Structure 1
Amino acid sequence: MSGFNVQGLTKRFGATTVVDDLDLSVEDGEFVVLLGPSGCGKTTTLRCLAGLERPEAGHISFGDRTVFDSGKHVDVSTHKRNIGMVFQSYALWPHLTVRKNIGYPLKVRGRKDALKGGAVERAAEMVDTQMLLDRYPAQLSGGQQQRVAVARGLVAEPDLVLFDEPLSNLDARLRDQVRTQIHQLHQRLGFSAVFVTHDQSEAFALGDRLAIMKAGRLEQLDTPQRVFDEPGSEYVAAFIGMGNRLELTRGEAGWTTASGEVVDLGGRTPERGAGDRVVARLRKQDLHLVRSAEQAPAHHVVLGATLVTKEFGGRHYDVLVDVAGQQLSLEADTREHGAWLRDAAEGAPVQVGFAPSDVRLFAPDLDERPQTGLAVAGTAGSTGGTGTTGGLRAVTTGV
């Protein structure tokens, strides 16, 4: 295979455009993560790749083979696209044993040789479920069911494996375990994959590249490190963890907050051109409580604030402060600040500091608010939740 390409993909539900002229490429053996909030079009894109949704326009090719072309009226059915799919809802047949669930894609493809040759057992062993082969899904935990679903997605050695938020139904501990297992399987087997999630930690851990989506389009496509270090827009910055937003205005003394405090950014300028207003974005880990400006490291910005609330978190407090009418969050080390912060009252004056190098600056006319979701009636999977119907449809076509 020479990779997978999507060109001009457009999908509408009624008058609502969910995927909007999307271009995306996946190199052979690459793990690409579609990242974004509910309603941004990531699951619908995945379902178009799988053949579970028919786009209005566009071209999809797997290597040199075209599987969809709106202009040439090509639309290869799901079971002929040689894909594997892992669903959020597991989508296991309740009346079939684990062995038969894993082997279903081989059965649909007529791969009797693989069924007899131990392919099911090898797939189960890859995800540590070989001891469960004769059980039924109802006899398994959620984590076990999802591992079975992963084995089913890989058993036929597909050209492309599609993951539709497969970890979202698991508790935190199991989510980390299954995520690590998927990462190890990809490293070992080298399959090509597209993985849908709204969780930035999953995206950073798994992706060779991240495709951050907004309103059906790609907002940024790059490696996890580049996305983390250089978010392409305020929207991306907000979504990948830079939740603190501070508006600044240029005056005679330089950049100032709404209350008039000067913010020396060390000559830093917005990634995109701005006039006399700019938005500074910071991660909570980059913002620190300081007892006085003198105690802050050299060249750090220190701003006056008031305490809004604090929550004990063991070795740190989760703290919310108000700076010039804008609420910012941070973590305060218990060993350093616990003695006085424990008894501090709401509204108490505090100070916060940060290094200018940790700030990312954007023009304020960028839309920094993530999408809250597109209400599309009757479209299972279009907003990130596949549902049983969509899942079983995929299983019956052999993915």
Structure 2
Amino acid sequence: MTSQFKVSGLNKSYGSNVVVDELDLDIEEGEFLVLLGPSGCGKTTTLRCLAGLETPQGGSIEFGNKTVFDASTKIDIPAHKRNIGMVFQSYALWPHMTVRDNITYPLKVRKLKKAISDGSVEAAADMVDCGALLDRYPSQLSGGQQQRVAVARGLVAQPDLMLFDEPLSNLDARLRDQVRSQIHQLHQRIGFTAVFVTHDQAEAFALGDRLAIMKSGRIEQYDAPEHVFEMPASEYVAAFIGMGNRLELKRGHEGWKTNAGDGIDLSGAVVRDRADEGTSAVARFRPDDVFLHESLQDVPVGNVPLHAELVDYEYAGRYFDVSVKTGTEPLALRAKASEHGARLRQMTPGAPLVISFSPDSLRVYGEPNGSAVAEPDLVAAGSGGTAS
């Protein structure tokens, strides 16, 4: 694939508040790029700069061979001339127009009369399973239907770039999964180039060809979803993509120990076990990687056992979400209801527990909130390019 869209050194501030900070992006033709991060990290502002809805103070944006923004030469092509499609969080359909008229609107603005007469509107509606809704008004549609119409409106003029600004966040859980699946299928079928903003890691992993995880206007990791999941480049990324468990470790003359004094063999973990005595580190791992046991004798060979105490549990159908504490550090795990339900229901907060995890599930980082202290060969095998 060729690099179709390029963002270089982008800066955007509001007064003294830096929102986008020297940001670089390369978006390949046909790629579905997801900007992922918490509120305030700069992802929506980046999207709006691509769209031409915000004017950066520095940097440049190229669409193919065309520069649409360059602060140094004062080029700033307005949004309506950038040939983009955009889907907003709030649907943004014209309430006084039918579905047909809403989808037709981008073609009218571009004066593409032939596309209208050739059935492009009907074809776009059929792409998102809304062909039977063309004569209805937005008020007569469900939230999921309105958002699908918004996608059709964005795609009907065959834009160079599709931009999605948290388009699923206003939908309930069932509709969110349904529309997400339809967007994915549509991209697989048509192959449009897209940038999708979300704070939801499940959406990011499901949709993205690559993910750009953002923090304070910069990119912490720019990589394929599989690499981000398996080899998060920093503790910040690990925490954001689901490694909610955090153990502080200290290297002593006998090896690594937790704050509670439990020894941990990190020989199987993604960690450089060569630190000097007194070195601190942080281990991150997922609740799904922690196991509950009746006793120490039940811990599988090779797993790291920890003594813990029960804090709380919540029933979730086939499993329990269990909160425990080891020393002063909280941890979370998921316990199968069929195996542990009866026992958990008889326990009260403070009850002693035995938990374990495999060293392979750990990702270990330097302090504070540092990059992974992984072996060089593991880094090469597990990660792609990063950007800042």
TM-score > 0.5, shorter chain as reference: yes
- Matched AA of 1:212: I
Mapped to 2, the partners of 1:56 and 1:98 lie a distance apart of 38
The alpha carbon displacement at 1:32 in A equals 0.5
Mapped to 2, the partners of 1:120 and 1:161 lie a distance apart of 17
The alpha carbon displacement at 1:313 in A equals 1.1
Please give the per-residue CA displacement for 1:62-94, whole angstroms capped at 9, x wherever unaligned: 010100001111000111100000000101111
The alpha carbon displacement at 1:274 in A equals 6.2
Corresponding residue number in structure 2 for 1:354: 357
Mapped to 1, the partners of 2:27 and 2:139 lie a distance apart of 36
1:293 lines up with 2:296 in the alignment: yes
% identical equivalent positions:
63
Compared CA separation, residues 273 and 194, structure 1 to 2 (3 A): farther
Corresponding residue number in structure 2 for 1:230: 231
The alpha carbon displacement at 1:267 in A equals 5.6
Mapped to 2, the partners of 1:141 and 1:246 lie a distance apart of 45
Corresponding residue number in structure 1 for 2:184: 183
Please give the per-residue CA displacement for 1:321-379, whole angstroms capped at 9, x wherever unaligned: 001101101100111111211111110000110000000000121269xxxxxxxxxxx
Mapped to 2, the partners of 1:109 and 1:271 lie a distance apart of 57
The alpha carbon displacement at 1:266 in A equals 2.2
Asked if the contact 1:320–1:327 (Cα under 8 Å) also holds between the matched residues in 2, the reply is yes
1:110 lines up with 2:101 in the alignment: no
1:344 lines up with 2:347 in the alignment: yes
Mapped to 1, the partners of 2:240 and 2:3 lie a distance apart of 32
Instruction: Please point out which of 261, 284, 289 is paired with 2:287.
Output: 284
CA RMSD of aligned residues (A): 1.5
The alpha carbon displacement at 1:287 in A equals 0.6
TM-score normalised by length of structure 1: 0.90
Number of residue pairs the alignment of both structures matches: 368
- Matched AA of 2:297: E
Corresponding residue number in structure 1 for 2:260: 259
Bigger mean CA deviation after superposition, 262-271 or 298-307: 262-271
SS at match of 1:228: helix
1:245 lines up with 2:246 in the alignment: yes
Please give the per-residue CA displacement for 1:3-53, whole angstroms capped at 9, x wherever unaligned: 100000000111101000100010000010000000000000000000000
Please give the per-residue CA displacement for 1:288-320, whole angstroms capped at 9, x wherever unaligned: 111122211111000000000011111111100
Mapped to 2, the partners of 1:55 and 1:134 lie a distance apart of 40
The alpha carbon displacement at 1:2 in A equals 4.8
Mapped to 2, the partners of 1:274 and 1:341 lie a distance apart of 39
Mapped to 2, the partners of 1:91 and 1:358 lie a distance apart of 43
Structure 2 unaligned blocks of 5 or more? 372-388
Corresponding residue number in structure 1 for 2:306: 303
Write out the 4+ residue segments of structure 1 that deviate beyond 6 Å after TM superposition. 271-274
Mapped to 1, the partners of 2:333 and 2:287 lie a distance apart of 4
Compared CA separation, residues 272 and 362, structure 1 to 2 (3 A): farther
Mapped to 2, the partners of 1:262 and 1:27 lie a distance apart of 46
Corresponding residue number in structure 2 for 1:82: 83
- Matched AA of 1:54: T
